[in-house]
A and B are shown apart, each in its own frame.
Chain A
Amino acid sequence: MATPRPSLPRISLDSWAVLIALLVAVLVRAGVLKVVPW
């Protein structure tokens, strides 16, 4: 019998958006993203 493939815990798209935005903010704070032109 095939064993079920382990899957990542399901996180809503909303939560993913928050996590990514916070990660980006942390990268700015850490100086990884220094200047973002507009």
Chain B
Amino acid sequence: MADSVALPQPRTLSLPSRVFALIPGVLLLALVGYAGKFLEQFIARYGKSHHLVLPNIEYVLWAILIGLVISNTIGVPAAFRAGVATYEFWLKIGIVLLGARFLVGDVLRLGGVSLGLVIIEIALSLIFMTVLGRTFKLRPKLITLLAVGSSICGVSAIIATQGAIDADEEDSSYAIAAILALGAISLFLFPVIGHGLHLSDRGYGLWAGLAVDNTAEASAAGALYSDAAGKVAVLAKTCRNAMIGFVVLAYAIYWAGKGQAAKVQNKAAFLWNKFPKFVLGFLLISVLASIGFFTRPQITAIGNLSRWAFLLTFAGVGLRTNLRELGKQGARPFLVGAIGEIAIASLTLGLVYGASKLSLL
């Protein structure tokens, strides 16, 4: 994910005014998220009291669906948009706090396996997307943006790369639209495929974390399967996010070598700027939890705070997805993205299957 995600706030406003402008949208996130949680519990209680077997639809799906309905019918009014755009901020807080539910040993073991698979996934995805983009005769920098977006970290990786390689706004908006549309599709397809293949929570979570592009969608796709799968998906996706600086740096050097981007003066500073800091926060909280800094009830409390933060994120995923806007993108970038995503999903499924056969999971 990008080092920073700018909120759509005019720079001329004072800090209190900017914070105040976020309140309506944040309240909308909370309302939609809580409505999803309420619906899940209400349906479960209703089924139990009336002796009915009703499908157990998770709050994650309800929150996303309610958000999608609002976004694609009445639309999100302008006064709410700035606050809704904070959903990635809550996602990062949720990820850091989730660290309390991981012991360092688990992080090292599962994170080590994830990191190994992430390196293989990124290398193969970048090569495949580049070949595919050239076959479809896309513009070279659009190929780079699509390759980075689908191999690492979705929208934020595209934004980070756009600045580093001096790509056109038009290319990055095509790439972002393709990645968002595919993320929305995979959000609903992945749990169905996972259940169809009877994947374990750990196997499915690893697959979702490796294959779904945006961190918010990857977390949601994992949580839609189960709480345990959601945890693993976030860990695997965090490993993928940690690689963003290296890949963006490599592309920046490549395009600078061709004279089509500014030279990178200080590589260490570049890497630090692009490195997602929430990864460090996640590790710190995990270490603190592992050394007994928190009691068991405190770990439960921090874990629940993490769930609330994720709830706002899932509401935001639905609220910011406008299907009409996504439909306006170019057909070729979408086609390249779609073929690439299918290939990457198959490849990562194979990697996860191989890892489970080798008893690495």
Report if A15 contacts B (CB, 8 A). yes
What's the Cα separation between A35 and B277 when bound, in Å?
A: 28
- Total number of A residues with any Cβ neighbor in B under 8 Å: 21
A14 & B276 in contact (Cβ 8 Å cutoff): yes
Verify if B185 is at the interface (C-beta below 8 Å from A): no
| Contact of A13 with B5 in the complex, beta carbons under 8 Å | yes
Within 8 A of A (CB), among B260-302: 276-278, 280-281, 284-285, 288, 293-294, 297-298, 300-302
Task: Report yes or no: A33 in contact with B96, Cβ–Cβ below 8 A.
Answer: no
B97 within 8 A of A: yes
Residue among B1, B281, B288, B293 having the largest count of chain A Cβ atoms under 10 Å = B281
Complex contact B96–A29 (CB within 8 A): no
Instruction: Report the interface size class on chain B.
Output: 20 to 34
What separation, in Å, do the CA atoms of A10 and B294 have in the docked complex? 31
| Residue of chain B at shortest CB distance from A17 | B92
Query: Please, what's the 1-or-0 string for A2-22, where 1 marks a CB less than 8 Å from any CB in chain B?
Result: 000000100011111110111
How many residue pairs at the A-B interface have CB separations less than 8 Å?
81
Which listed residue, A15, A20, A25, touches B302 by the CB 8 Å rule? A25
Main secondary structure of the interface of A (DSSP, over half): helix
CB <8 Å contact, A14 and B294: no
Chain B residue with the shortest CB-CB distance to A19: B281
Most chain B CB neighbours (cut-off 10 Å) among A13, A20, A21, A37: A21
For the complex formed, measure the closest distance between the CB of A24 and the CB atoms of chain B, giving whole angstroms. Answer: 6
Are A17 and B304 closer than 8 Å at their CB atoms?
no
Which A-chain residue is minimally distant from B300 (CB atoms)?
A: A36
A residues in contact (CB < 8 Å) with B: 8, 12-18, 20-22, 24-25, 28-29, 33-38
Q: Give chain B's interface residues, CB within 8 Å of chain A.
A: 1-7, 15, 88-89, 92-93, 96-97, 100, 276-278, 280-281, 284-285, 288, 293-294, 297-298, 300-302, 304-305, 307-308
Closest 10 CB pairs of A and B: A17-B92, A21-B96, A18-B281, A12-B4, A36-B304, A36-B301, A38-B304, A14-B277, A21-B93, A13-B4
